Amino acid sequence: MPSFGLIIVGDEILSGKRQDKHLPKVIELLSVRGLALAWARYVGDDPPRLEAALRDAHASGDVVFCCGGIGATPDDHTRQCAARALGRELVLHEGAKALIMERMQDMARERGEVFDPERPDNVHRLNMGVFPAGAELIPNPYNKIPGFSVGTMHFLPGFPVMAWPMIEWVLEQRYAHLFHQEGRAERSVIVYGSIEATLTPLMVEVEARFAGVKVFSLPSVDHPEHGRHIELGVKGPAGAVAEAYAVLLDGLRGLGVPLGPELVR
């Protein structure tokens, strides 16, 4: 089972001009298919940093979605950085060229104009189809301007209305064989009157006993219902989680700490 990663590109996210919506949506798109996001990374419109992030992602072998920066304005660097990170030349993809030309014809028709493919702005728009050599297209149902894939790296626009259906298309076309392969579960309990240092040995013991199970601790100091508490739980393969959780509860009872509601996800 491969890991899934997400890279979100744009100075506007890091400056706070726009709020990122991709992270929760990608988590949702994966989870409904029995998959999970392993990591996410935000990168500004800085070519050296972006290239380094893409090179790291490629080296990981993970399935990676990269949202943003594939346009043709001076602050769009993703296509160029992807080519350098992947060690490929940039070339005009003929399929992308045809789709971009089709989109430009649609726009001219909507404005009641005669389409002129040699007009400078139309020639410039073809840069949106300049991808790393060997790239495969990701169809864009919103305006036909495609994204692209190179191996397990998938590059989408930054606009959610375009990126999200394109991510769904990639998942359905490329990774459907991975859907719901392994049932996963998460169980936790509210622990009152304790500190993480006291619970750590039990957490380490449970993780050591059950391969593939992760133990997590989420402390809170001002929860409106539970006040100061720790949500302590396990997550992983459903079968292993049930047994690991039972061991966790036994350990907590042995410590004599007050327990609150149990949670199942």
**Stretch 5-34: mean pLDDT, rounded?**
96
The predicted model scores a pTM of 0.86
The CATH architecture of the domain made up of 184-264 is 2-Layer Sandwich (3.30)
Cα 70 to Cα 79: distance, rounded to the nearest angstrom: 6
SS3 228: strand
Q: What tens digit of pLDDT does each residue of 234-259 get?
A: 999 888 999 999 999 999 999 999 99
DSSP assignment of 84-147 equals HHHT--EEE-HHHHHHHHHHHHHHHHHHT----TTSHHHHHHGGGGEEETT-EEE--TTTS--E
- Cβ distance 186 to 242 under 8 Å? no
In this model, does residue 153 exceed pLDDT 90? yes
pLDDT above 90 (res 20): yes
For the domain covering 4-178, report its CATH number. 3.40.980.10
Q: Average pLDDT for residues 57-82, to the nearest whole number?
A: 97
pLDDT digits (tens, 9 = 90+) for 161-191: 999 999 999 999 999 999 988 778 899 999 9
Please state the domain extents for the chain. Answer: 4-178, 184-264
Nearest to 189 by CA among 230, 226, 224, 225: 230
